Amino acid sequence: MMRIMIGALLAGFAVAGLAVAADKQPARVVVPLVEIEKAGLCVAPTGEMRRDHMKMLLHQRDLTVHQGLRDPRFSLKNCVDCHASQKTGSVLGKDGFCSGCHSYASVSIDCFDCHSALRQSRVAGVAR
């Protein structure tokens, strides 16, 4: 009896492991569409960014606002410039880089109540 149970458990793990490994197959659950137009150039590896981008943003914003540390790599403006959609020039909107995942996960963000969501080179008449 014990052997059968252990065997079943191990078989279950194997199947789960295979499922995880086979993420190239179409998912049965709807996942957000995230377009990374400039692959491989982010400030940290993709997995780390996905997990920790909020912590990085929260930490960095205090450094920038209170101490005036403005390393261009970590500025929100820089993130937006890179990640804004080629079509709309924004990180918000239906397939926007930020709003795509956030509306999928139903985690509201209020960054862009105040911050501009637009890529700067697209803003007419303002050279930066």
Partner 1 sequence: MNSDRRQVLAWGAAVLASAALAPGFRLIELVQARSPEEAASTLQRWGLLIDTTKCEDCDVCVTACHEENGVSGHGRPETDAQWIRKVSLHDKQTGHTQALPVMCQHCEDPPCVDVCPTGASFKRADGIVLVDKHACIGCRYCVMACPFGARSFIHEPVSDQKADVPRGKGTVESCTLCVHRLDRGQTPACVEACNRDGGKAMVFGDLNDGTGELQRRLRSEPSSQIRPDLALNTGVRYQGL
**Residue 87 touches partner 1, criterion: CB under 8 A:** no
Counting residues that bind partner 1 (by CB under 8 A) gives: 23
**Residue 123 touches partner 1, criterion: CB under 8 A:** yes
**Residue 115 touches partner 1, criterion: CB under 8 A:** yes
Over the window 34 to 73, marking each residue x when it contacts partner 1 by CB under 8 A and - when it does not, the resulting string is ---------------------------xxx-xxxxxxxx-
Between CA 78 and CA 75 the distance in angstroms is 5
Name the residue nearer to partner 1 (CB basis): 24 or 66.
66
Name the residue nearer to partner 1 (CB basis): 46 or 116.
116
100 C-beta neighbours (distance < 10 Å), count: 19
Question: CB of residue 94 vs partner 1: minimum separation in angstroms?
Answer: 18
Calculate the dihedral angle through the C-alpha atoms of 76, 99, 34, 88, rounding to the nearest 10 degrees: -80
C-alpha separations of 85 from 33, 58, 118 in Å: 12, 23, 9
Name the residue nearer to partner 1 (CB basis): 12 or 70.
70
Which helix (H) or strand (E) segment is 65 a member of? Answer: helix 46-67
3-state helix, strand, coil in the chain (%, to 5): 55, 0, 45
User: Footprint of partner 1 on this chain (CB under 8 A)?
Assistant: 61-63, 65-72, 77, 80, 110, 113-116, 118, 120, 123, 126, 128
